[in-house]
Chains A and B, each alone.
Chain A
Amino acid sequence: MDVLELKGIERTYRTGAVEVKALRGVDLTVGEAEFLAIMGPSGSGKSTLMNILGCLDSPTAGQYLLNGQDVATLNRGQLARIRNETLGFVFQAFHLLPRTTASENVELPLLYRDEQLSWKEIRDRAREALGIVGLGDRLDHTPTELSGGQKQRVAIARALVTKPRVLLADEPTGNLDTRTSLEIIELIQRLNDEGLTILMVTHEPEIARFAERVVILRDGLIRSDRRRTPLRAADSLADWSEESEDAMDEALGDRMETETTPPLEVGR
């Protein structure tokens, strides 16, 4: 069965007298365990689409079926429950709680579960999720004590901790360097291999190559929807460490030699 189904989705923003049609009739069907990249120029409506998919925003027209259920029929509380249990959302800006440790950030969605988990269970699941993203040794670090890539991993762990069916990631690599981006993509591919449906917004074609399906938005409409065999991020990472790092090492080494100056004589 299809996990997500969009039919003629429109979203119009009204700011005073000005109307902006961010989405103008999007039809999209995403199946179980697909890894889909959404691309498009800035302002084409990618974030708007993700917000609607994430039940954070509702369309002005059209129908959105999630697991066969029409989202428009749900009330605020039911939507909150879907955000909590079915969907995992990764924001471009991380949105971690400041001065709060990684594990507490990851625990957050579990606190809002309807069923009552024990504190031990909550702790264990947060630790497990951080383990999956490779941060098992950073449980007690606060966001200021983490690198950008690590923060994004915490955000992914937070999205995973509820064991969602769908992971929605709005530019998860937007703030990261190429190497860290590859690591995040490698993680996402692994999760996808395990059966998680993934929709990821990106504006970098190199990143989109790792998805099996690429949808391109322009002016609120889908302009292209293609499938192909994706690259494996794990392979790229392996290549990376041999070529790029060696090259960088050499370049740095040369410069060190030429720029080395004798130490200052300090008179006594």
Chain B
Amino acid sequence: MKISAVPYVALKALRRNTMRTLLTALGIIIGVGAVITMVGLGQGAGAEVEEQVNRLGQNVILVFPGERQLGGVSIGGGSANTLTVEDAIALREEIPEVVAASPEVRSQRVLVYGNRNWATPVYGQSHDYLQIRDWPIEDGRMFTEEEVGRAALVTVIGQTVVQELFEGSDPIGETVRVRGLPLEVIGVLAPKGMSLMGSVQDDLAIVPYTTGFQRISGRSHAMVLNVQVYNEESMDIARAKITDLLRERHRLAPNQDNDFTIQTQEEVAQVATETSRVMTWLLASIASIALFVGGIGIMNVMLVSVTERTREVGLRLAVGAKGPDVLLQFLIEAVILCLLGGLGGILVGVVATEVIASYAGWPALFSVEAMVVAVGVSAAVGVFFGFYPAWKASRLDPIIALRRE
């Protein structure tokens, strides 16, 4: 058979049934589009996660109470009571590489201002916490070490709290009440946006840990120690020194396990990106199911089409087409159908990713690999699901095929 006639004949056959061709391709369009959208969104989310981890602050080490599996990203909620305020102070004073250390407690409390109230997480921190988080003050000031020392009744609040309690009016110098304690608002934090876990980071109030521990949270131990190290090169030394110091302070025998867990910002980032990669794969596999269903659609249509076009096949055989010619024709038809669907799917996927990403506030990432793979897979789907109907057609007996109505 004439080689260039193979795609020609296949295209003609597809054009003779435009509607069916389009509807069949739609299955693949949706499948490929879904794959590309899912992978794009997953990667966009991953990039966003990375970005947020970087926003955690520079050269940060987190010390959690108790032994934790790496991978438990959930920050806070320390189950064990092993870390104290004194531990934090010791880290700051005895380890030269540590420039700041803040013992943290967190509790959900209702803030009251006038006749308005708002439930928000209240954090007890030290005066250098904002430096650790690399978080600027927008208005007013952060509390001082001296204020921490005398457990001053002051607070620095996030943007959400400002909006909810003060409705835009200036909160500096006003007094809010928490569990009956009057706290003077001395500062407002710059907006920070969403956190890793999707919560609003601007919904918080920070008080000196001296105020926060007993009087607001009712806790004696820190949920986490936020530690900042002098520079990136010092991270490993600092980590070792922190471990030694805490073991010493906790009087752990050499054969005993740590009763705390140290995580660097980088490790948190790793876990987070790992999570987003798993998510990407999960989404991609769901989308692959859509592609698979699209493939079955192709097979179904090709089978119907072989049955419907039995007379056409019979005629082609009668005028000299050989079995392999017919096989090739139906196979190429299926592949063209899938490739058309693949290209359409890329288009749909790109548009869908762009739209969804812009709503979610993520960057829209397109991976060329995902597109190549999607189109490759759709061609493979075409061959795979097109083969059986094509083979069936090529096995037809010309006169039986011609006689069929």
Contact = CB atoms under 8 A, between A and B. Distances in A.
Interface stretch (B4-12, B68-76, B200-208, B358-366): B4-12
Interface in B314-352: 314-323, 325
Interface string B10-50: 00100010000000000000000000000000000000000
Contact of B320 (A91, A98, A112, A122): A112
A110 B5 CA distance: 10
Q: Give the interface size class of chain B.
A: 20 to 34
B320 A95 contact: no
Nearest to A52: B399
Contact of A158 (B12, B16, B319): B319
B1 A112 contact: yes
Contacts of B251: none
A83 B318 contact: yes
Interface string A90-119: 010001011110001000111111101101
Q: Give the interface size class of chain A.
A: 20 to 34
A89 interface: yes
B399 A51 contact: yes
Given A100-B12, A104-B12, A95 B311 contact: yes
B1 A97 contact: no
Contacts, number: 71
Contacts of B322: 76-77, 80-81, 112
A54 interface: yes
Nearest to A76: B323
A80 B315 contact: no
B2 A111 contact: yes
Contacts of A114: 1
Interface string B361-404: 00000000000000000000000000000000000001100100
A81 B311 CA distance: 20
A84 interface: yes
Given A97-B315, A119-B4, A113 B320 contact: yes
Contacts of A193: none
A241 B190 CA distance: 101
A111 B315 contact: no
A32 B188 CA distance: 107
A239 B314 CA distance: 40
14 contacts: A56-B402, A76-B323, A80-B322, A83-B318, A95-B311, A95-B315, A97-B16, A100-B12, A110-B2, A111-B2, A113-B320, A116-B2, A116-B3, A162-B320
